Amino acid sequence: MGTRQYGRKTSHSEPGPGDGGRTGSWRVARPILDEHACIPAKRGAQACYMCWLYCPDGVISRTIPPKIDYEYCKGCGICAEECPTKAISMVEESCFIRSEERKP
Amino acid sequence: MHIIESGNVAAALGVKLSRAQVIAAYPITPQTPLTEKLSEIIEMGEMDAQYVPVESEHSALAVCIAASSTGARAFTATSANGLLYMHEQIHWAAGARLPLVMCVVNRGVGSPWTIWNDHQDSISQRDTGWIQIYVNDHQQIIDGVIKAFKLAEEVMIPVMLCYDGYILSHTYMPFEIPNQEQVDAFLPPYKPEYALDPMSPANLNTVTLPDVRLDTRGRLAHGYMEIRYLLQEDMIKTIEVMNGVDKHYMEHFGRGGCPLYETYQCEDARFIAVSLGSLSYHLREVIDRLRNEGIKAGIMSVHLYRPFPAEAIAEGLASAEGVIVFEKALSYGYQGALCSDVRSALYPANGSRKKSPFVHNYILGLGGREIKTSDLYEAFKDSCRKGPSAGKDLMWIGLKI
Amino acid sequence: MHTKTTILSLPEEEFVNPGNRACAGCGLGTSYRIALKALGWNTILVVPPSCLTVLQGLYPIAATKLPCLNVTFASTAAASTGMLAALKALNKQAIKVVAWAGDGGTSDIGLQALSGAAERGDNFLFICYDNEAYMNTGVQRSGTTPQWAITANTPIKGKLQQKKDVPAIMAAHNLSYVATCSASFPLDLYDKVGKAVTLPGVKYIHIQIPCPPGWGFEPRYAVKLGKLAVETGLFELYEVENSQFKLTGASQKIADKRSLVPVAEYFKAQSRFKLMKASQIEEIQERINKKWAGSFETAEDTDED
């Protein structure tokens, strides 16, 4: 089956996620947030959010605590580097691959 | 209303009647008076359009492309090196399927510099996916501009309307100015299927992969090749649409009737000349002279050059003994582009052995070299005499080497 | 008195979809994300070939949630003009037009059209995101590549010429607003973009964008590196509003404290400068010191009052 029925005749893209596929697969290391060190988590209130601010991909949410979307997080490490309390550490992706493979 | 004015003014009036909304202007001889006239019309408040004096021709077409993508009817004009400067954008507008109209006031290209008429500028753009129409006099210019907008917006392919620099752009002829109300009835406001809009966001003309891919709604979208195929498919359909537009114009204004090509004395002609633009009318003098001598000659003036109406042209030439193509341009390293196209149209894809006319190719008038009727007559007569045994593939008229 | 935006007062809404093809740690990623928050929905973007073209998504998926017109390399500013003309003709002038071009598309191939648009006074914001080379095509040198940087086509000697000062060129067009920003100071960027779109004519904002693969550093240090560029005084954050020059943010702080971080630290952190000789670093340090001497004197005068 071809694309004859496709409505448009030009290069016309609509907004949507994942143009680059599952960019989470690019990661060599994964950012893990320690809620005990994270300022908004500890305070139970909106605060800091340096990780949310600097994330180039917008995959960290401005919630209490911030949540990272691992589907798309590329593992750049900026959040870990900029966190004022070092609440985020970069953990090798290989650890998670093995445990995720074991999941039923 | 009947007036006597220049070809450039005829074009400008056509643009005014077509209610173009965005006009990009950059000066280049011999097109300049066209956009100057438009600036005068706009500044006098006689036309409600945005006049953008750009800093280059590449930018002129950039303005038109963006304006059209945003939903406005856009126009620009240029010649020669200006046309070449916007070459990248010409391809772009075609692939983006934008209904731009551009007048190309034909002029030879550098180097070396020339400001005089030949067709190398527009001929060199024939592969870009624009519709290319050549007109022969001022009436055809003003009618042609209006029809161009209609055609462009119907098939969503940009149109290049070509007329000879100086010979048409700067000479004065009488012509009829269509009535604005009638033009409005023929050409309604531009309403594209899509125009850039925050209410319906889209990212236009970005990088397109070689293969097809699913879009955000899970539907299989075109790849680059499909998008380009559709341009070609719609170009071919344009021939039929052009017939319709011309018929429609005839009903409103009483003029037209030969959208693909215009003939003079071809009905019983043994030898048919083929050419583009004002040269076609010049050749009529030669036809008359030959007819007086008993030679059954005729002239086919091609109007729609791209898409090339191969079938129709082949039909029009099939019964002739000889075809003589007179051109003011060539594809260097081979032959005249029009001649190539005509020969190809006469040679069927199935390679059948049915007798075809001989085809001669004359190059003339490059850089505005004077075209003498006597030279045309001699060449035509020579071709009729020599027929298939002319020997040379390419012949030149007016060369002083 | 204009209130500076804080992280918490930034709009939460995202105008970019995740999962785009930008490199990990891309400075443009942050700048684009935050600047779009300042622009809002009623905006149409104009983008030439550049890293942003790729970031915004390949057909048929758009990472950007705003409408955008991709245009040929040289024509960004001209296309912006054309878009504005159409919006005027259609009575939709409230829609903002914002061009985003890379350094190549601004300072090299795009400069002619940009100058033309600036002279015509067309009402749009032109943002140059400057990662200091033709990064999208593999790190070739551009007009804004800094001196001595190793690039794909200055692989052994490094770039011999100095960085082209595009903001100064644009300021010479007497624009209502010219500003420099850094990907490492996104709140400053947010405020400047927000201010720019309220002003008339062409507005120009130049953002320095640290680029991990192009500059040669670990992605995690992207923000630190951008800050270092400013703290060494090599890159200044400033505004030129109605021909009045004013240092802003971290650059203003440098002037106040009269202290510059040695520029050697900045060069040593990036492998694109690995072949720099000590004498070349010293020469640049002297240039920086001279450049800042005036601002330091002004600060001193202010102190003495």
At A5-52, the pLDDT tens digits run 998 999 999 999 999 999 999 999 999 999 999 999 999 999 999 999
pLDDT in tens, C149-204: 999 999 999 999 999 999 999 999 999 999 999 999 999 999 999 999 999 999 99
- C-alpha span between B331 and B342 (Å, rounded): 14
Q: Does B67 or C294 have the greater pLDDT score?
A: B67
Element of type H or E holding B203: strand B203-204
Closest CA to B24 of B100, B121, B126: B100
Tell me the average pLDDT of chain C.
95
Q: How confident is the model at residue A98 (pLDDT cuts 50, 70, 90)?
A: low
- Asked if residue A57 lies in contact with residue A17, where contact means CB atoms within 8 angstroms, the answer is no
Q: How confident is the model at residue A99 (pLDDT cuts 50, 70, 90)?
A: low
Distance in angstroms between the alpha carbons of the first and the last residue of chain C? 23
pLDDT exceeds 80 at position B392: no
CB-CB under 8 Å, B72 with C85: yes
CB-CB under 8 Å, A8 with B226: no
CB-CB under 8 Å, A58 with C18: yes
Closest CA to C23 of C272, C211, C269: C211
Q: How confident is the model at residue A95 (pLDDT cuts 50, 70, 90)?
A: confident
- C-alpha span between B255 and B137 (Å, rounded): 13
pLDDT exceeds 70 at position C2: no
On the question of a cis peptide bond just before residue B30, with omega within 30 degrees of 0, the verdict is yes
What is the CA angle B365-B367-B369, rounded to 5?
40
- C-alpha span between B277 and B310 (Å, rounded): 18
Closest CA to B142 of B298, B6, B344: B6
pLDDT exceeds 60 at position B20: yes
Question: Which residue of B156, B205, B234 is in closest CB contact with A11?
Answer: B205
Share above pLDDT 70 across residues of chain B, in percent, rounded to a whole number: 100
Question: Which residue of B63, B200, B216 is in closest CB contact with C82?
Answer: B63
pLDDT exceeds 70 at position B306: yes
Q: What's the whole-number mean pLDDT along residues B142-151? A: 98
- C-alpha span between A49 and A65 (Å, rounded): 9
- C-alpha span between A80 and C223 (Å, rounded): 11
pLDDT of residue C305: 42
- C-alpha span between B322 and B390 (Å, rounded): 11
pLDDT in tens, B317-361: 999 999 999 999 999 999 999 999 999 999 988 887 778 899 999
Q: What's the whole-number mean pLDDT along residues B3-12? A: 98
- C-alpha span between C102 and B350 (Å, rounded): 52
Q: How confident is the model at residue B265 (pLDDT cuts 50, 70, 90)?
A: very high
Residues 6+ apart with CB under 8 A from B136: B163, B168, B262, B277, B278, B280, B281, B301
- Residue C108 DSSP code: I
CB-CB under 8 Å, B222 with A6: yes
ipTM: 0.95
- C-alpha span between C109 and B59 (Å, rounded): 12
- C-alpha span between C168 and C128 (Å, rounded): 13
Residues of chain B contacting A13 with CB distance shorter than 8 Å? 202-204, 206, 215
pLDDT exceeds 70 at position C23: yes
Q: How confident is the model at residue C304 (pLDDT cuts 50, 70, 90)?
A: very low
Residues of chain B contacting C137 with CB distance shorter than 8 Å? none
Residue C220, SS3? Answer: helix
Residues of chain B contacting C98 with CB distance shorter than 8 Å? none
